[in-house]
Structure 1
């Protein structure tokens, strides 16, 4: 059994520390106030800065970027730092765009993190659909990430990525044993352009997914800090409390240790 330390930095960004590795997810380190344009007339404003500044992070061995083309998952400050942070894992399209020491993965492809004196970690890209049926050409490719290593008691560590609940996520329940889930929420909507169509899960879908996956630990992320998030913790907490797994909420800057 290996303990995993997870720090919620803010928005989708978390620091995962396990087996000698320091792994950063969807890094966002811009200060608040900036507007981000996502295409097709959609935009968002950053409302809250990161709880930890990039200069105070310490060394980063690997970065998991679910998609490179939205500033609330990879912003300019973080993109500029990628060459200093070791290997970046992202979509195949993202790898072509970002270049450098970047590995592109399609859903269900795997690669391995290896280094002397550290755990060997298998990274599996998992499917995502970042919006309603047919939205892929507009929203672009997205992946989640599952991390597996020797000695996990409860199962893999899964970062869902930005996605709604659909068949691809239900396949995860069939194919992986998940012990710890970093659950991207936020119920992203752009009501003046696409009505009530959602581009990430809300809490109700989150409960359905949790009850399908049956993880030991669930940590919500990607629900605060940007204007396009339509469901924050206050609205989601009571709904998620009905899930079969207890929820571990981490305010930005908070850390928890999980028995994996």
Structure 2
């Protein structure tokens, strides 16, 4: 499997002939985006690759469409060139009719869809929505619906790719980690906080990411979505501190991706 970090949560995944793009964000840095309820964040880093450099993709996975750090204007413009789009159930409704000829599948937690192979010789893929809680308890009415994705070859139980999505570590995520047999995980971190809501966190910090990697024990855990925005308060520094204090097993599984360069895992 080859992973290319583009920026934020945006990662190009290539395996078994498939090209999968996670949470497309291609806007230039410098702009401040509203996140609802008086919160906002400024984009501080641009993408390592533009849409033209990424090229055609067979499948786009969007953990949620309503926050610009996971789907921005340039990312939306990219969707009609994709083969298929899978996102949340509510996001599927919002994106309907806006992705050109690319079909949109909206999933709630636990839902699954089989994505037919786009070319001869490729295996079909099964995509299952995994649990996310994008904030403290009872925050979903405010932060909206978010999911992760477990991607399997049809007929196989092992998960080839697990994308955690934007989430804190909570009971549902721990149960999923115990239940999944994962080859490669993309773990979104960063420790998002906003001044308006004080100490409340909306994504995992480094300490929680280390715990999750230990629970799921993937062959490799690629680290993502920890920089490039002003709302990351734990960020790369917190993640490195947590990994330095982690067990040797977790440190061996954790992988830092290189911006704009394909890394083979």
Same fold (TM over 0.5): yes
Deviations 1:22-74 (A, max 9, x none): 10001100001111101000001111110001111111111000000000000
User: In 2, are the aligned partners of 1:154 and 1:216 still within 8 Å (CA)?
Assistant: no
RMSD of Structure 2 on Structure 1 (CA): 1.6
State the alpha-carbon separation in 2 of the partners of residues 166 and 187 from structure 1: 14
Q: In the alignment, is residue 256 of structure 1 matched against residue 263 of structure 2?
A: yes
Provide TM-score, normalisation by structure 1: 0.93
State the alpha-carbon separation in 1 of the partners of residues 137 and 70 from structure 2: 22
2:152 maps to which of 133, 138, 148: 148
Q: Where do 1:47-66 residues align within 5 Å?
A: 47-66=44-63
Any unmatched runs of 5+ in structure 1? none
State the alpha-carbon separation in 2 of the partners of residues 173 and 48 from structure 1: 31
Aligned match of 2:161: 157
State the alpha-carbon separation in 2 of the partners of residues 66 and 41 from structure 1: 22
- 1:152 shift after superposition: 7.5
State the alpha-carbon separation in 2 of the partners of residues 151 and 97 from structure 1: 31
1:223 maps to which of 218, 226, 234: 226
User: In 2, are the aligned partners of 1:29 and 1:49 still within 8 Å (CA)?
Assistant: yes
Q: In the alignment, is residue 197 of structure 1 matched against residue 200 of structure 2?
A: yes
User: In 2, are the aligned partners of 1:122 and 1:148 still within 8 Å (CA)?
Assistant: yes
Deviations 1:115-137 (A, max 9, x none): 23212211111010000001100
| SS state at 2:174 partner | helix
Structure with the bigger RCO (C-alpha within 8 Å, sep 6+) is 1
Any unmatched runs of 5+ in structure 2? 98-102
Aligned match of 2:100: none
Q: Where do 1:11-90 residues align within 5 Å?
A: 11-90=8-87
Go from structure 1 to structure 2 and tell me whether the alpha carbon gap of 1:180 and 1:151 turns closer, same or farther (over 3 Å shift): farther
Aligned match of 1:96: 93
- 1:180 shift after superposition: 1.1
Q: In the alignment, is residue 111 of structure 1 matched against residue 113 of structure 2?
A: yes
State the alpha-carbon separation in 1 of the partners of residues 232 and 180 from structure 2: 29
Aligned match of 1:131: 135
State the alpha-carbon separation in 1 of the partners of residues 178 and 192 from structure 2: 27
User: In 2, are the aligned partners of 1:163 and 1:199 still within 8 Å (CA)?
Assistant: yes
State the alpha-carbon separation in 2 of the partners of residues 211 and 81 from structure 1: 35
